[in-house]
Amino acid sequence: MSALRGSPPNMDVLSLAIQESRSLLDLPNNWDAEGSPAYAESTWTRAVDFLLHNAERLWQDQGIVVSAPQILPGPDGSIDLHWRIKNHELLLNIPADPHALADYYGDTVDGNAINGKLNPTARNQWLLMWLAE
């Protein structure tokens, strides 16, 4: 049954955010005049895969649509996914090191918080589902 759902209905919005974020790959070394390194395509791909795979799974398994995050330059060649949705804020950092875990923190205006590290290539739709609570 879940496979019948296909792609999330806001896939065009997610795709646009992803497409625009590809400009991160145009930044050269020292792009901020403070020594920040260029962004590797492999890091960007891991960030995008995390977003797409988990958004699709969340839609297919639960019928929940996740909003597009800001896809932003992070420290030391990492990439940040940043959501501000209603009462929730979530920051997920995809590190430049492909073997390192992703660091996340989220909280709500009610004071509920989640904080930890995860393998960004594993199934993590639970994190995006938290945004929809």
Structural tokens at position 68: 């597009």
Q: Is 108 helix (H, G, I), strand (E, B) or coil?
A: strand
Binding residues among 18-37 for other proteins as defined by CB under 8 A: 27, 31-36
Contact between 105 and other proteins (CB under 8 A)?
A: yes
**Looking at 7, 64, 65, 73, which residue binds other proteins (CB under 8 A)?**
73
Contact between 93 and other proteins (CB under 8 A)?
A: yes
**Which lies closer to other proteins via its Cβ, residue 111 or residue 115?**
115
**Which lies closer to other proteins via its Cβ, residue 39 or residue 59?**
39
Residues 6+ apart with CB under 8 A from 131: 66, 67, 83, 85, 88, 90, 106
Task: Give the interface segment with other proteins, choosing from 1-9, 46-54, 70-78, 120-128 (CB under 8 A).
Answer: 70-78
Contact between 110 and other proteins (CB under 8 A)?
A: no
Q: How far apart are CA 3 and CA 61, in angstroms?
A: 8
Bridge partners of residue 117, in order along the sequence:
103
| In the complex, least distance from residue 80 CB atom to other proteins, rounded to whole angstroms | 5
Burial call 5-17: b when 16+ CB within 10 Å, e when fewer: eeebebbeebeeb
- Residue 128: CB atoms within 10 A of its CB come to 25
Give the chain's largest Cα–Cα span.
52
| In the complex, least distance from residue 131 CB atom to other proteins, rounded to whole angstroms | 14
Q: Which residues bind other proteins (CB under 8 A)?
A: 27, 31-36, 70, 72-76, 78, 80, 82, 89, 91-93, 103-105, 107, 115
